[in-house]
Amino acid sequence: DRERLAVAQWACELEIWDRCISSSERAQQFDVNHRYPMPFKEDVLSRTREIKLDPAFVYGLIRQESRFIINARSSVGASGLMQVMPRTAKWTAKKIGMKNYQPELLNQHDTNIAIGTAYLKLVLESMDNSMAMAAAAYNAGPSRPRRWRAPDQGKGPVLEAAIWAENIPFNETRDYVKKVLSNATFYASLFTGQPQSLRSWLGQVNPQPASTTALP
């Protein structure tokens, strides 16, 4: 266990963040700073303050999406820290007035954070500020959580988001939502210095149809 912790510490010092996290997860001793590191903190905090987005939510999502690998690329073509799809990145860059955007810029952490957080903010607003639904939308596309939330045209009951998440029909998305919000809870504890409730972070899911804002 000491060796695993030493490897985690070494990887953190070298800023090999995915190895830092994975080595820490294999250790029995829990070191929150190794398991939930905060690279690019100045950029994340600056951007989230500007657009009024919770940085703990952003870190929770990045940790799940890429484990802070700047040039991460998925099998379907999503790129960078926040694993943004090329079409989504182009649409969001235009939406926020980013000039001279080029697809290769997604592998630069500042550009990826700017575009990824802007898109996440738009998704969150379109999901009535439900972080659980926004995480599901980020993973599975915005149209699916709307259908999962309001199968009865908005006539269903208000649900605990934990219950709603457990009934997501896609295994990957169900697991993703739980991990992103669990990550965010730990990051919120680091930011505030206070214990956080996962249940509070998950919140509730209302029956009303989500916004019809068109999102890619």
The residues annotated with a catalytic role in the active site are: 65
Closest C-alpha among 127, 159, 108 to residue 57 = 127
Helix 55-65 / helix 109-126 crossing angle, nearest 10 deg: 110
Cβ neighbours of residue 24 under 8 Å, at least 6 residues apart? Answer: 4, 5, 8, 31, 34, 35
Rounded Cα gap, residues 1 and 123, in angstroms: 41
Complete DSSP assignment for 43-85? HHHHHHHHHT--HHHHHHHHHHHTTT-TT-B-TT--BTTTTB-
- Helix or strand run (H / E) with residue 204: strand 204-205
Task: Tally Cβ neighbours within 10 Å of residue 174.
Answer: 17
Quote the Cα angle for 91-207-181, to 5°.
Answer: 60
Cβ neighbours of residue 173 under 8 Å, at least 6 residues apart? Answer: 136, 139, 140, 144
